[in-house]
Amino acid sequence: MKTGVIVYIAGSDDSELRTDWDAEVEKLEIEADMVETISPTSGHFDIPDAWLAMTVKGMHRIECMVAERAGSGGLRLQDKRLRLCG
């Protein structure tokens, strides 16, 4: 069963538009077949949009995680995972 993870970046504002969120999410080394990011600069507008993109690409188990800015300038994942399907 293919697994997808949606990472929702909370607390980002207009001053952080130049941040490469996808690169920051890659540093988190999330174990999944596919990872989508929801941020001010991503192509996804909200969680259902990213969920649909993953479903179309064959992901059966999809989870959503929230990431927030860490003090060091990177991202930190919250402990909670929300299973959207599968």
C-alpha dihedral sign at 30, 55, 69, 25: positive
**CA distance between the termini of the chain:** 9
| pLDDT at res. 36 | 93
> What is the domain count for the chain?
1
Q: Per residue in 22-80, pLDDT tens? A: 888 999 999 999 999 998 777 777 899 999 999 999 999 999 999 988 777 788 999 99
**What is the domain extent for residue 46?**
3-85
Is the pLDDT reported for residue 86 higher than 80? no
Q: Binning pLDDT at 50, 70 and 90, where does residue 12 land?
A: low
56 or 85, higher pLDDT: 56
> Whole-prediction pTM value?
0.85
**pLDDT for residue 20:** 80
Q: 69: Cβ–Cβ under 8 A, 6 or more apart, which residues?
A: 11, 12, 16, 75, 76
